[in-house]
Amino acid sequence: MTAQDDADLLALTAGGDRNAFEAFYRRHAPWLRLRLCYRCADDALVDDVVQETFLAVWTGAAASFRPRDTDAAAWLWRIGSRRLIDALRRHTSRDRLSRLLARLRGRDEPSAEEQVLIGLEHGDLGGALIRLSPELRAVIRATVLDGLSTTEAAVLLGIPAGTVKTRAMRARRQLREELT
């Protein structure tokens, strides 16, 4: 499948074609969910965000897609990442921790990965990251956690590369001040 195929599927989806929407969903939902999981440890919240993202595509966002401006994956990532930021704003860190602990109660001891996630999210670094504005946090997550280059982060976040560099510099400065 090509980028043109995605553009065609989105054009058909904008016209109400359920089969085109289903094909677009099947093609893009797995990688979108995986990328969102890198940014949020709460599987239920990630699943909700994926559903909200594709609901937005179905209910009208598909009509706003312009294939000459961007590719479908970057366009979809912008929608999904913004939905995740909104969802995280709605949920306090205490709510996320209580859901995570509830999942862990069935085991005697959390796995090493779960301990690291709890420490990252609720330790000094986690607190400093939470205090960053969502825009700065998104750049740090894209460039540091996801390992994207400045150019790749710019495409996925829908902002100029210079803005990515500026926000990364501001975020690092703020994190350095809070952690020292």
Q: Kindly report, residue by residue over 93-115, the tens digit of the pLDDT.
A: 555 555 555 555 555 455 554 55
The answer to whether residues 118 and 102 touch, using CB atoms and an 8 Å cutoff, is no
Q: Which CATH architecture has domain 123-180?
A: Orthogonal Bundle (1.10)
**CATH class held by domain 1-91:** mainly alpha
pLDDT digits (tens, 9 = 90+) for 33-71: 999 988 887 888 899 999 999 999 999 888 888 877 678
User: Two tokens at 113?
Assistant: 């990965």
Complete DSSP assignment for 105-159: TTSSS--HHHHHHHHHHHSHHHHHHHHS-HHHHHHHIIIIIS---HHHHHHHHTS
How far apart CA 35 and CA 43 sit, in angstroms, is: 12
Task: Give residue limits of the domains in the chain.
Answer: 1-91, 123-180
pLDDT tens readout for residues 114-156 = 555 555 555 566 677 778 888 998 898 888 776 778 887 887 7
pTM, whole model, 2 decimals?
A: 0.53
Amino acid at 37: C
Which comes out higher in pLDDT, residue 90 or 63?
63
Grouping H, G, I as helix, E, B as strand and the rest as coil, residue 165 is: helix
CATH topology agreement for domains 1-91 and 123-180: no
pLDDT of residue 127: 73
CA distance 180 to 171: 14
Task: Supply the pLDDT for residue 177.
Answer: 86
